[in-house]
């Protein structure tokens, strides 16, 4: 272990010697823990990190004036769509995606390192229950979608296939996630096909460029953003594991989207048949000022431009069909070839520039008292998973319907959007639409017929409560065999047991 003298010299080189200001007050155990943490910080990298954070935070926020002239939408030939275009093409994409899954060429990778601060919980978001009738967590819904898509591909091609599940965690989420998976028997997935790994942590920095002490014996650290994926892949030999398993294509997604379709065959097939090394699912922006990044081109190079960087005038531009010109909203749902990820990890990761996130960081003051700030007091530097888009040789975008594939969980209930209530409503509305389109009719608890509304207005609760297990249907397929001509009482949970009961109850 490094000595106090060595660590103090390293901190002096970094300009961060204040991190030992409570040294004389610490007992031997906390002293050892602090030394171990500080010894892992490279002094040159720490100095540069703190200087970069302070300088980036000092830059004025807001739109970039010269950006408008450099901005262009992605060319139409590089954009696919679930709702527009040729149904035969969508069938080809789905067939290709299922074929690749059946060949064991596809993995999914979950970004699950962030803390649920805005949600108001002290455990990983994936363990959260939004209040579904089944009480399933986000992790369980995602695991069951993996099981179902494996089944669909296997049945289509007469094989037994596997979609490995890689889960990038952080110091905050690794232990609880691993325990949760074990306690739930990995949701009936083979544990050898569920690979947890940890992203790096970076010190939080004050506006003056000083690393922040969370406690007298601990530096405040934060995950290095979902773009920390690329370092983590190298740190934990994840790409080597993928190569050993024969994985060629990786679907990367964020934990908080309750509607996410893991290893979506249509998206995968579109990207593969387009010869893409990188792909992004997008949704059409609801209005010019919706706070989502836009997938587009800058100087002919694909990237995500943050909404705050685009002027209101540019954001409001319209195409000839009346739609927003820059309408491809990024939803953190991506396709990568393993080869592209290997190249990024080896060559391009050091070129990625971190982004500033101004946060409320708990800390100790000069007297050592714990402070929980009421307003932002520090900077967390993050990289984003989409920062690698400019390095792609063939990036494509795939537009999907928001009501079918995107409802993020970010805020506690009471917020205007992206809350447990909105996520629950989105999933139950989707399942109700699936059931009605499959031929089901519903009664309320008193037996009164409820109106059939296959097309629901946005943000409106469905007339009936219907939750369909991913193990029964991945994306609405195959439901008519259980539901056509049925009159069912709300609430309905259509799980595997109930589906079997409905089949057995059919007239011979």
Q: What is the pLDDT of residues 218-273, one digit of tens each?
A: 999 989 999 999 999 999 999 999 999 999 999 999 999 999 999 999 999 999 99
CA distances from 415 to 118, 181, 409, 451, 467 (A): 10, 30, 11, 30, 24
Give the range among 46-55, 74-83, 294-303, 334-343 with minimum mean pLDDT.
Answer: 46-55
Name the more confident of 3 and 189.
189
Q: How far apart are CA 47 and CA 54, in angstroms?
A: 11
Structural tokens at position 455: 């097309």
* pLDDT tops 60 at residue 20: yes
Name the more confident of 83 and 501.
501
Q: Decide: 491 and 464 in contact? Cβ < 8 Å.
A: yes
Q: Decide: 203 and 51 in contact? Cβ < 8 Å.
A: no
Backbone angles phi, psi at 381, to 5 degrees: -95, 125
For domain 65-405, give the fold: Spore Coat Polysaccharide Biosynthesis Protein SpsA; Chain A (3.90.550)
- All residues at 6 or more sequence positions from 89 whose CB lies less than 8 Å from its CB, including other chains: 80
Q: What is the mean pLDDT of residues 493-501?
A: 96
Predicted pLDDT at 356: 86
Is the omega angle on the peptide bond into residue 491 within 30 degrees of 0, that is, cis?
Answer: yes
Q: State the pLDDT confidence band at 62, using cuts at 50, 70 and 90.
A: low
Q: What is the mean pLDDT of residues 96-119?
A: 94
Closest by CA position to 168, among listed 223, 234, 113, 127: 113
Winning range, highest mean pLDDT, from 59-68, 287-296, 427-436: 427-436
- All residues at 6 or more sequence positions from 174 whose CB lies less than 8 Å from its CB, including other chains: 196, 198
Name the more confident of 136 and 453.
136
* pLDDT tops 60 at residue 508: no
Predicted pLDDT at 498: 94
In this structure, is the dihedral angle defined by the CA atoms of residues 336, 97, 409 and 323, taken in order, positive or negative? positive
Q: What is the mean pLDDT of residues 429-449?
A: 94
- Within 10 A of 216 (CB to CB), how many other CB atoms are there? 16
Query: Using the 8-state DSSP alphabet, how is residue 478 labeled?
Result: T
Q: State the pLDDT confidence band at 26, using cuts at 50, 70 and 90.
A: very high
Q: State the pLDDT confidence band at 507, using cuts at 50, 70 and 90.
A: low
Name the more confident of 84 and 228.
228
Q: State the pLDDT confidence band at 506, using cuts at 50, 70 and 90.
A: confident
Fold agreement between 65-405 and 420-504: no
Degrees, nearest 5: CA angle 405-411-416: 85
Backbone angles phi, psi at 365, to 5 degrees: -85, -170
Mean pLDDT of the chain: 94
Domain 420-504 has CATH 2.10.10.100: yes
Give the range among 56-65, 210-219, 398-407, 457-466 with minimum mean pLDDT.
Answer: 56-65
Q: What is the mean pLDDT of residues 368-377?
A: 92
Predicted pLDDT at 168: 98
Domain boundaries, the chain: 65-405, 420-504
- 151-190 residue pLDDT tens: 999 999 999 999 999 999 999 999 999 999 999 999 999 9
Predicted pLDDT at 293: 94
**Alpha-carbon torsion angle 111, 117, 123, 127, nearest 10:** -60
Predicted pLDDT at 1: 67
Closest by CA position to 85, among listed 441, 398, 462, 419: 398
Q: What percent of the chain has pLDDT over 90?
A: 81
Q: What percent of the chain has pLDDT over 70?
A: 99
Name the more confident of 244 and 61.
244
- All residues at 6 or more sequence positions from 81 whose CB lies less than 8 Å from its CB, including other chains: 398, 399, 400
């Amino acid at each position: 272990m490094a000595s106090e003298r060595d660590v103090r010299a390293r901190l002096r080189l970094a300009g961060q010697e204040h991190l030992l200001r409570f040294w004389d007050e610490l007992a031997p155990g906390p002293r050892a823990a602090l030394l171990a943490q500080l010894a892992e910080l490279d002094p040159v990298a720490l100095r540069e990190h703190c200087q970069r954070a302070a300088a980036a935070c000092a830059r004025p926020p807001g739109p970039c004036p010269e950006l408008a002239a450099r901005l262009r939408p992605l060319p139409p030939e590089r954009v696919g769509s679930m709702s527009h275009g040729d149904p035969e093409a969508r069938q080809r994409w789905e067939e290709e995606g299922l074929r690749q899954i059946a060949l064991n060429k596809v993995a999914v990778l979950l970004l699950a390192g962030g803390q649920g601060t805005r949600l108001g919980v002290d455990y990983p978001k994936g363990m959260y229950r939004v209040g579904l009738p089944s009480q399933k967590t986000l992790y369980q819904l995602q695991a069951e979608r993996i099981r179902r898509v494996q089944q669909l591909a296997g049945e289509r091609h007469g094989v037994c296939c596997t979609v490995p599940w890689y889960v990038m965690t952080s110091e905050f989420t690794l232990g609880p996630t691993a325990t949760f998976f074990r306690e739930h028997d990995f949701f009936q997935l083979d544990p050898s096909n569920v690979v947890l790994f940890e992203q790096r942590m970076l010190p939080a920095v004050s506006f003056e460029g000083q690393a922040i002490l969370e406690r007298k014996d601990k530096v405040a650290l934060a995950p290095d953003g979902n773009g920390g994926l690329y370092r983590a892949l190298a740190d934990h030999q994840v790409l080597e594991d993928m190569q050993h398993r024969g994985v060629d294509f990786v679907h990367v997604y964020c934990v908080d989207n309750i509607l996410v379709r893991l290893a979506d065959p249509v998206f995968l097939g579109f990207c593969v048949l387009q010869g893409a090394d990188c792909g992004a699912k997008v949704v059409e922006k609801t209005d010019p000022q919706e706070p989502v990044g836009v997938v587009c081109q800058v100087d002919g190079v694909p990237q995500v431009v943050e909404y705050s960087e685009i002027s209101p005038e540019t954001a409001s531009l319209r195409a000839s069909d009346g739609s927003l010109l820059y309408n491809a909203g990024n939803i953190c749902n991506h396709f990568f070839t393993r080869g592209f990820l290997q190249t990024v990890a080896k060559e391009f990761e050091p070129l990625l520039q971190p982004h500033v996130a101004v946060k409320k960081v708990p800390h100790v003051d000069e007297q050592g008292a714990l402070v929980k700030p009421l307003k932002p007091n520090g900077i967390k530097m993050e990289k984003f998973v989409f920062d690698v888009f400019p390095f792609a040789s063939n990036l494509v975008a795939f537009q999907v319907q928001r009501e079918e594939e995107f409802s993020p969980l970010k805020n506690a209930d009471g917020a205007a959007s992206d809350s447990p209530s909105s996520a629950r409503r989105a999933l139950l509305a989707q399942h109700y639409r699936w059931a009605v389109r499959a031929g089901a009719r519903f009664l309320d608890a008193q037996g009164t017929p409820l109106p059939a509304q296959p097309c629901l207005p946005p943000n409106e609760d469905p007339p009936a409560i219907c939750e369909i297990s991913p193990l029964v249907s991945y994306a609405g397929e195959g439901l008519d065999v259980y539901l056509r001509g049925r009159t069912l009482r709300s609430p309905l949970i259509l799980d595997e047991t109930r589906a079997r009961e409905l089949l057995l109850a059919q007239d011979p």
